[in-house]
Each structure stands twice: as C-alpha cells, then as structure tokens.
A and B are shown apart, each in its own frame.
Chain A
C-alpha cells in the first residue's frame, strides 16, 4: 500500500490524486497530497508510475505496514526506472519481448 509522500520532493502537481483508481489521496491545503484513505489502496503502483519527481513509495504488501518506513530507506523512483517512464528514458514497452514459455512455440511478446 501507499506509505510515503515525500514533502521534500513533491511539486504539488496532484497527478497521483487524479490517477488513483480508488481515491486514496486528498489534496492538502498546500497542494501536497495527503494519504487520506490508505485502507482503500489496491497496491497497484499507478501513483508511483505517474509521479514526475519520484516522491511516492508504495510498499508491496497489500496491508498497511506496522510502522511507516523512513524515506531514506526506500527505493524512491525505482519502479519508474524499471518501466522506463520519465523524461529521456527508453519506454520499457519497447524492450518487452519474450521469453518463450515452457511448452509454447515462439517468443511470448508481453
């Protein structure tokens, strides 16, 4: 689930508020999103993918963590690097070919 909105990195563009399919965020008074309904988070990582400044961290667990992790200890921006989203990057979709699945013919193009 969403665990971190970095106040240092956030530019208050509110893209995460817009793309969240379950309306987890609320726009704070200063424009910086607040995690208002964490229990509604589906752990889809969509907000992270759309954040232009790598200010968000979604933990892989589909339940809230017992303690909120420290911003310095999490790989902010790693998901966007892997999928090649962001200015100057090669979109991962251009590289997404194969491998052939066991028992199938030819490469899987996914």
Chain B
C-alpha cells in the first residue's frame, strides 16, 4: 500500500488528470521564470514549488501538427481548457497536483489467485481496488497498466465470482450469514453519530498534503499515522448512518483503513523506490527489493511478502 500515492497534474481547481500531454509543457514560477527540473515525469519538483507558491504551465513544445493530433487523441484533456476559455498552447495557466490514491497508484487488495480471488472466500477484486504491484511494481502511468488491467481483471474476477456462485448451487439462498462489518455499520460505543463527512475531511487532511504523502519523511508520516489511528478509533466507536448514507459511512471507514495501511507500509519501507519517496531515506535499498503486505483493522501490521502469509492488501 506504500505505492498508493500517485499525484497527477491538472489545471488549478479542476478535475481532469490526464498527464501524457504535459510532456509538451514548460513549467513556470509565479514570477514567470522557468521552474527548472520540473516535468511530467519530474513532479516532485512541482510539488516542492507548490508548497511555497503557485506554479504555472504552458504546452509550448507542441508544434501545429502535434496540437491537431492531441485534440483528436484526447478530447477529454481539452474539455477543461475549452470551458475555462484558456488556450493551453499559448497561455499560462496555474496547475495543481491531485492525489489519485490507488487509482493511479499500484496498491490495492491482494490478489491471491488467477481468477482475482482474494484471501476472503467468495470475494473477488478488480480494477483500481486490486493491487497492480505484481504486474508493474511501484510505479505506473495511466493507460496500459490501469485501463488494460481494469478490463482484464474485471473479466477474470467476473468469471471467478460467477463460478463461485454456481458452485454453491441451491445452497446460495439458504446459507446462514452473519454481518461482519464493524466501522461505519456497527459502532461499539453507546452514542452513534453520522460523522462520515468529518471523517473524510480528517483523512484528507492527512493524506492529501504534498509534504505528508508525496514528499515523505518519517517525522511527518508518524504524526499523520497517529492522527489517523485516532480517527479510526473514533469511527469504530461512533460512526453510523441511515438510509442511502450507510454506504457513505462505510466508504469513509474504508478510507481511514486504507490510509492507515498506506502509512504503515510507507514507514516500513525505509528507502526510496517507485512513487514512494522518503526524504529521510533518499536512496533505493537493494535489500528491500520485495513487496510489503499489510492488513489489520484495530491493529495494523506490515510484513515482507512470504508464501505462507495471508494478507488483506499490498
């Protein structure tokens, strides 16, 4: 889960995070001078600058042929600019970096079999929810390992789930089941409250800032994790919602769990590798050339992958 901190470039205050065409970009300081070293593949420089100032961008390296082809190739990319009234080839525009979590990151639920089964019987994982570490390690771009994986894993997981359902035969509808969900569904305390929006905001405060999750350092990861542990304890004790908000409460609880797995694994990986950058451990360590598995809810654990380990996520 330590490789779940992908950040993508987007125009400030917007949502479309298609990054390929920023290969044609030059990035600028607020004062109009070039931000040296910044690039589509050198986003740490941009993140460091964004902590202090606004950063601007212009796709000034694209010639007329490239510009025409870009519009046909990715109309979604230009939708934002057209509606803002900005010509990205000739005008400077402010940018931001948006955290994409496991969407462009590679962490996710551990896949245990070729049919995308997991360590939970009957549960199958696909797409961004499933780990992509076995196919692309600690870094991935957008299309190939994500879009192709979405389609292939979805197909495999669907077949796996259908086979599992069929194997149950007539028993499927008559099994005795017991609700196992805790946080967000069955609070342990006596005064439940629907605080899912506050919980989401508390998670965002610990996982979105560039100096916590992107430019990582143990001195900043540890207090962030401590805060998230506190959020989890509170959610466990009191979070509960009604009606359509049940799923929102459960999603909020899942975000807390995810964030704690991510930072536990990030603290355990005392090196810089892939998208996991530790300012206190800036080099790659050949002795850590293995995957980390993590799991647990009230108590979170992290361990190097070993054949016999049963894991929730990686």
Write the residues of chain A forming the contact surface with B, with a CB cutoff of 8 angstroms.
23, 42-45, 59-63, 75, 78-79, 82-83, 92, 95-103, 108-110
Size class of B's contact patch?
Answer: 20 to 34
Shortest C-beta distance, B34 to chain A (Å), equals 16
Give the shortest distance, in Å, between A78 (CB) and chain B (any CB). 7
- Complex interface: chain B residues within 8 A of A108 (CB): 20, 73
Taken together as a complex, chains A and B put the C-alpha atoms of A103 and B143 apart, in Å, by 18
Assembled-state Cα–Cα distance A38/B124 (Å): 32
Is B91 located at the chain interface by the 8 A CB criterion? no
CB-based contact A83/B83 at 8 Å: no
Q: Which residues of B contact A95 (CB under 8 A)?
A: 72
Q: What DSSP secondary structure best describes chain A's contact surface?
A: loop
Please give me the 5 A-B residue pairs with the lowest Cβ-Cβ distance, nearest first.
A43-B15, A99-B69, A98-B69, A82-B75, A99-B66
Q: Tally the A-B contacts, defined by beta carbons under 8 Å.
A: 67
Chain B positions 242 through 271: 1 when the CB is less than 8 Å from some CB of chain A, otherwise 0: 001000000000000000000000000000
A109 to B69, CA, bound (A): 10
Within the assembled complex, what's the spacing in Å between the Cα atoms of A61 and B96? 13
Report how far A103 CA is from B78 CA in the complex, Å. Answer: 22
Residue numbers in A under 8 Å from B65 (CB-CB) = 99
- Give Cα A59–Cα B15 distance, bound, in whole angstroms: 10
Q: Contact at A78–B82, with CB atoms within 8 Å? A: yes
The answer on a CB contact under 8 Å between B20 and A101 is yes
The smallest C-beta distance from B68 to any residue of chain A, in angstroms, reads 8
Q: Known: A102-B24, A110-B143. Is A61-B13 also a contact (CB below 8 A)? A: yes
Contact between chains at A45 and B79 (CB < 8 Å): yes
Q: In the complex, A103→B15 CA distance in Å?
A: 27
* Residues in B50-71 with C-beta less than 8 Å from chain A: 61-62, 65-66, 69-70
Q: In the complex, are the beta carbons of B73 and A99 less than 8 A apart?
A: yes
Q: Given A62-B13, A62-B15, is A83 in contact with B73 using a C-beta cutoff of 8 Å? A: no
Instruction: Evaluate contact between A101 and B14: CB separation under 8 angstroms.
Output: no
B76 within 8 A of A: yes
* Pairs across A and B, CB under 8 Å, 11 listed: A60-B84, A61-B13, A63-B13, A75-B82, A75-B83, A99-B65, A99-B70, A100-B66, A102-B61, A110-B73, A110-B143
Docked-complex contact A60 and B69, CB < 8 angstroms: no
Residues of B within 8 A of A (CB): 11, 13-16, 20, 23-24, 61-62, 65-66, 69-70, 72-76, 78-80, 82-84, 143, 244
A107's closest neighbor in chain B, by CB? B69
| Contact (Cβ within 8 A) A60 B72 | no
Asked if B79 contacts A110 (CB within 8 A), the reply is no
Q: Is the CB of A96 within 8 A of B73?
A: yes
CA distance A98 to B71 in the complex (A): 10
- Pair A96/B23 contact, Cβ less than 8 Å: no
Distance, CA A43 to CA B98, complexed state (A)? 13
The CA-CA distance from A103 to B66 in the complex, in Å, is 14
- Residues of chain A within 8 A (CB-CB) of B15 are 42-44, 60, 62
Q: Is the CB of A97 within 8 A of B24?
A: no
Could you say which residues of chain A place their CB within 8 Å of the CB of B16? Answer: 43, 60
**With contacts A43-B15, A99-B65, A102-B24 known, is A92 near B72, CB below 8 A?**
yes
Q: In the complex the two chains form, what is the Cα distance from A1 to B15 in whole Å?
A: 9
| CA A109 to CA B143, docked complex, whole Å | 10
Measured between beta carbons, the chain B residues less than 8 angstroms from A99 are: 62, 65-66, 69-70, 73
List residues of chain B with CB within 8 A of the CB of A45. Answer: 76, 79
Residues on B with beta carbons closer than 8 Å to the beta carbon of A78 = 82
